[in-house]
């Protein structure tokens, strides 16, 4: 087939590589210029968490090693709260890690890999403005295709055109919080995600290979202690010091960095159908989620593997419907989990009850064969999101009947007895 992929971001490049390796001819049409050879001034600062789903997709196309060469492993969260620092491991062993990667670097690696596949052509500086059947239009040229893939992100143009043809459902939700990024110079324990849960805001920071961290501050847009009320340097400085304590010691120029850019919006998109008449959506175009489970890119990569498999198993027309049927229930679950994790990161990482509950879950993960926390299933496995949630609910019911930490102690003792240890 001749395939036109709109968008050379995470999903577009990943899918182009996969489809071209199957023998399809793929034109990737991207509105931006070629980022290779630049340091991507805007993208440079953005670091994202790569989890097992994303690693599996990169492994499939032979790019994992290259992607990890500049990644930093994150073995847990370091929570900074009221001058105290606590550590919450992500998993039960060394295999259960996330990797912090610069989105720009990963995009470049994917673009290089796509450019090296003979059947892929990359068209930079071509903004798609229209779709007529499977003809993709940009101001400068028209691309004819047998299949059009909208990998053009949360504000997808392909989706807008698809919606003109079908009775589509579409829900876009903006969080009343936004985000701004900043850099934290080298810290002591870089191999973790650092979190500053404030009372009125949240800071999350991913490690970079040079030991620095890329921080993201999340705050409401409005109100005295929201982005709009913190435009004055003195006010912003006082608020950040009060809210995030040691962060202001770690980042001497926090205030100028904080005030340097407009805050970004956080958007979640749900739509159906994802496909009609040989046009299909993947990644954020189909299901943008709030970033609080660190899964948007990982899910976008996973979409590509599922769509690729469906195209290999079915005729093109059936494949698109099969892809949506197989995938959408799971990304709907991810949207829910991502919204919920915002509350967890904001409020509950410093709640003793929540932490005790986490510890029980975590201990059971170590002691009971087959017991896995929801977080581990989402981040350290490729179990479909909906299946992971269903299994977590079953475990929760068990845990509910379990008499707190006493049960864990008994279990541990029983296990030690069985293994002959004391």
Ligand X SMILES: Cc1cc2nc3c(=O)[nH]c(=O)nc-3n(C[C@H](O)[C@H](O)[C@H](O)COP(=O)(O)OP(=O)(O)OC[C@H]3O[C@@H](n4cnc5c(N)ncnc54)[C@H](O)[C@@H]3O)c2cc1C
**Interface residues with ligand X (CB under 6 A)?**
6-12, 29-32, 48-49, 127-128, 151-153, 157, 179, 216, 283-285, 291, 294-298, 300
> How far is the C-alpha of 380 from the C-alpha of 255, rounded, in Å?
36
> How far is the C-alpha of 10 from the C-alpha of 305, rounded, in Å?
13
Report, in Å, the least distance between residue 319 CB and ligand X.
19
Report, in Å, the least distance between residue 152 CB and ligand X.
4
Q: Among all residues, whose Cβ is closest to ligand X?
A: 9
> How far is the C-alpha of 297 from the C-alpha of 67, rounded, in Å?
14
Q: What is the DSSP letter of 46?
A: -
Report, in Å, the least distance between residue 378 CB and ligand X.
11
> How far is the C-alpha of 233 from the C-alpha of 248, rounded, in Å?
13
Q: What is the DSSP letter of 390?
A: H
Report, in Å, the least distance between residue 395 CB and ligand X.
24
Return the closest-CA partner of residue 98 out of 75, 129, 77: 75
- Residue 200's SS3 state is coil
Report, in Å, the least distance between residue 86 CB and ligand X.
21
Report, in Å, the least distance between residue 161 CB and ligand X.
10
Return the closest-CA partner of residue 14 out of 141, 125, 133, 112: 112
Return the closest-CA partner of residue 238 out of 223, 250, 248: 248
Q: What is the DSSP letter of 211?
A: S
Q: State yes or no: cis peptide before 273, omega within 30 of 0.
A: yes
Report, in Å, the least distance between residue 207 CB and ligand X.
12
- Residue 267's SS3 state is strand
Give me Rg for the CA atoms of the chain: 23
Report, in Å, the least distance between residue 116 CB and ligand X.
19
Contact by Cβ (8 Å): 136, 4: yes
Contact by Cβ (8 Å): 284, 158: no
Nearest-5° Cα angle at 353, 352 to 354? 90
């Amino acid at each position: 087939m001749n395939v036109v992929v709109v968008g050379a971001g995470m999903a577009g490049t990943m899918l182009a590589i996969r489809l071209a390796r199957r023998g399809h001819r793929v034109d990737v049409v991207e509105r931006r210029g070629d980022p290779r050879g630049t340091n991507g001034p805007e993208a440079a600062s953005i670091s994202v968490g790569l989890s097992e789903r994303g690693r599996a997709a990169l492994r499939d196309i032979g790019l994992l090693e290259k992607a990890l060469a500049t990644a930093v492993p994150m073995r847990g969260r370091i929570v900074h709260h009221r001058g105290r620092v606590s550590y919450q491991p992500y998993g039960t062993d060394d295999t259960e890690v996330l990797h912090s990667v610069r989105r720009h670097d990963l995009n470049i690696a994917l673009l290089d890999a796509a450019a090296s596949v003979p059947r892929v052509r990359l068209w930079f500086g071509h903004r798609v403005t229209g779709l007529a059947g499977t003809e993709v239009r940009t101001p400068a040229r028209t691309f004819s295709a047998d299949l059009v893939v909208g990998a053009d992100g949360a504000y997808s143009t392909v989706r807008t055109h698809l919606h003109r043809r079908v009775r589509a459902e579409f829900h876009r939700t903006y969080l009343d919080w936004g985000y701004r990024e900043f850099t934290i110079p080298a810290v002591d324990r870089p191999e973790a995600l650092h979190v500053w849960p404030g009372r009125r805001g949240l800071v999350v920071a991913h490690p970079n290979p040079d030991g620095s961290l890329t921080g993201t501050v999340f705050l409401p847009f409005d109100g005295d202690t929201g982005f709009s009320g913190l435009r004055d340097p003195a006010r912003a400085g006082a608020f950040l010091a009060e809210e995030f304590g040691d962060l202001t010691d770690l980042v001497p120029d926090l205030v100028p960095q904080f005030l340097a850019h407009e805050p970004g919006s956080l958007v979640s998109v749900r739509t159906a159908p994802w496909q009609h008449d040989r046009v299909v959506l993947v990644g954020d175009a189909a299901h943008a989620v709030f970033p609080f489970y660190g899964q948007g890119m990982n899910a976008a990569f996973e979409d590509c593997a599922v769509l690729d498999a469906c195209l290999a198993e079915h005729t093109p027309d059936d494949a698109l419907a099969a892809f949506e049927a197989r995938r959408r229930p799971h990304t709907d679950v991810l949207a829910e989990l991502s919204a919920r994790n915002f509350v967890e990161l904001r409020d509950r990482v410093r709640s003793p009850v929540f932490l005790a509950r986490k510890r029980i879950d975590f201990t059971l993960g170590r002691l009971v064969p087959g017991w896995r926390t929801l977080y581990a299933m989402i981040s350290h496995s490729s179990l479909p999101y909906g299946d992971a949630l269903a299994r977590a609910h079953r475990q929760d019911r068990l845990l509910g009947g379990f008499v707190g930490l006493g049960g864990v102690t008994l279990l541990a003792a029983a296990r030690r007895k069985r293994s002959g240890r004391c």
